[in-house]
């Protein structure tokens, strides 16, 4: 049972690490501010989510798990708000370059 839990926990932690890394790579690879926001979205949702899930498995049925779940809930409520504020602030400033559009075929 402990082994299975440890395995699940490690799986989730490694998955979280993978998505955090992908988010970082995305920040570097994507061309402009607005597309980079989407890469940041990955680290906010699945990256942080899987890491916290893995830690929940380590915590077991204790208070720690409750607190971790609360952290996740608050993170998932606040991070889209922050992303929205960033995007809106960037769009509101006329000196910023406008978002990139792809050419329609």
Partner 1 sequence: MFHHLNRWLFYFGVWLLLSGYLHDPLLLGFGILSCTLCAIVAWRMDVLDPEKEPLRLRLMSLQAFLYWPWLLWQIVKSNIDVARIILDPKLPISPTMISVRPIQRTDLGRVIYANSITLTPGTVTTDLRGDTLDVHALTQSAADDVLAGDMGRRVAQMEQRS
Nearer to partner 1 (CB atom), residue 1 or residue 88? 88
Q: Is 13 in the site for partner 1 (CB under 8 A)?
A: no
Among 8, 11, 17, 22, binds partner 1 (CB under 8 A): 22
Q: Rounded to an integer, what is the distance from CA 40 to the centroid of its chain? A: 6
Among 37, 48, 52, 56, binds partner 1 (CB under 8 A): 37
The label of the residue with tokens 């559009």 reads 101
The label of the residue with tokens 């504020």 reads 85
Q: Is 45 in the site for partner 1 (CB under 8 A)?
A: yes
Q: Is 34 in the site for partner 1 (CB under 8 A)?
A: yes
Site string for partner 1, 74-93 (x = CB under 8 A): --xx-xxx-xx--xx--x--
Residue pair 26/42 in contact by the 8 Å Cβ criterion: yes
Q: Long-range contacts made by residues 94-98, C-beta under 8 angstroms, separation at least 24?
A: 96/33, 97/32
């Amino acid at each position: 049972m402990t082994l299975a839990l440890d395995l699940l926990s490690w799986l989730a932690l490694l998955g979280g690490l993978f998505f955090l890394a992908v988010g970082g790579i995305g920040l570097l690879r994507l061309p402009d501010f607005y597309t980079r926001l989407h890469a940041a979205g990955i680290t906010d949702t699945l990256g942080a989510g899987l890491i916290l899930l893995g830690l929940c498995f380590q915590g077991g049925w204790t208070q720690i798990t409750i607190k971790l779940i609360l952290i996740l809930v608050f993170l998932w409520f606040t991070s889209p708000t922050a992303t929205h504020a960033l995007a809106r602030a960037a769009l509101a400033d006329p000196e910023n370059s406008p978002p990139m559009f792809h050419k329609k075929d």
